Amino acid sequence: MAKQEFHLDFCGRGITVETGEIAKQADGAVIIRYGDTVTLSTACASNQAKEGIDFFPLTVSFEEKLYSVGKIPGGFLRREGRPSEHATLTARMIDRPIRPLFAEGFRNEVQVVNTVLSVDQDASPEMAAMFGASLALCISDIPFNGPIAGVKVGRINGELVANPTVAQMEESDIDLTVAGTAKALNMVEAGAKEVSEEDMLAALMFGHEQIKKLCAFQEEIVAACGKEKREIELYAVDETIDREVRANFEAQIRAAVSIKEKLERYGKIDDLTDEAAEMIANKEYESEKDQNNAVKQAREICRGIEADEVRRLIIEDKVRPDGRQIDEIRPLNSQVDLLPRVHGSALFTRGETQVLSTTTLGALNDNQIIDDLTVVDSKRFMHHYNFPPYCVGETGRMGNPGRREIGHGALGERALAQVLPSVDEFPYTIRTVADVMESNGSSSQASICAGTMSLMAAGVPIKAPVAGIAMGLIMDDNSGKYTVLTDIQGMEDHFGDMDFKVAGTKNGITALQMDIKVTGITKNIFEEALAQAHKARLEILDNMLACIPSPREQLSPYAPKIAMMNIDPDKIKDVIGPGGKMINEIIAQCDNVKIDIDDDGKVVIYHNDYDTIEKAKQMISDIVRVAKVGDVFAAKVVRLEKFGAFVNLFGNTDGLLHISKISHHRVDKVEDVLKLGDIIDVKVTEIDNKGRINVSAKALLPKPKTEEEKTEA
371 is in an annotated binding site: no
Side chain identity at residue 310, one-letter code: V
Task: State the Cα–Cα distance between residues 355 and 347, nearest whole angstrom.
Answer: 6
Q: Is 184 helix (H, G, I), strand (E, B) or coil?
A: coil
Give the pairing type, strands 429-438 and 381-386: parallel
Phi, psi of 36 (to 5 degrees): -95, 5
Task: Calculate ∠ Cα 391-395-399, nearest 5°.
Answer: 80
At 534, which helix (H) or strand (E)?
helix 523-547
663 vs 631, 684, 696, CA distance in Å?
18, 15, 9
Q: Is 160 helix (H, G, I), strand (E, B) or coil?
A: strand
Task: Calculate ∠ Cα 22-28-29, nearest 5°.
Answer: 30
Q: Say if residues 105 and 391 touch (Cβ distance below 8 Å).
A: no
Task: State the Cα–Cα distance between residues 546 and 324, nearest whole angstrom.
Answer: 24
Q: Is 417 helix (H, G, I), strand (E, B) or coil?
A: helix
CA 82 to chain centre: 18
Task: State the Cα–Cα distance between residues 607 and 617, nearest whole angstrom.
Answer: 11
Task: State the Cα–Cα distance between residues 111 and 46, nearest whole angstrom.
Answer: 9
Q: Say if residues 65 and 132 touch (Cβ distance below 8 Å).
A: no
Q: Say if residues 468 and 503 touch (Cβ distance below 8 Å).
A: yes
Phi, psi of 651 (to 5 degrees): 50, -125
477 is in an annotated binding site: no
Q: Which residues are annotated as a binding site?
A: 493, 499
Q: Which residues are annotated as a binding site for Mg(2+)?
A: 493, 499
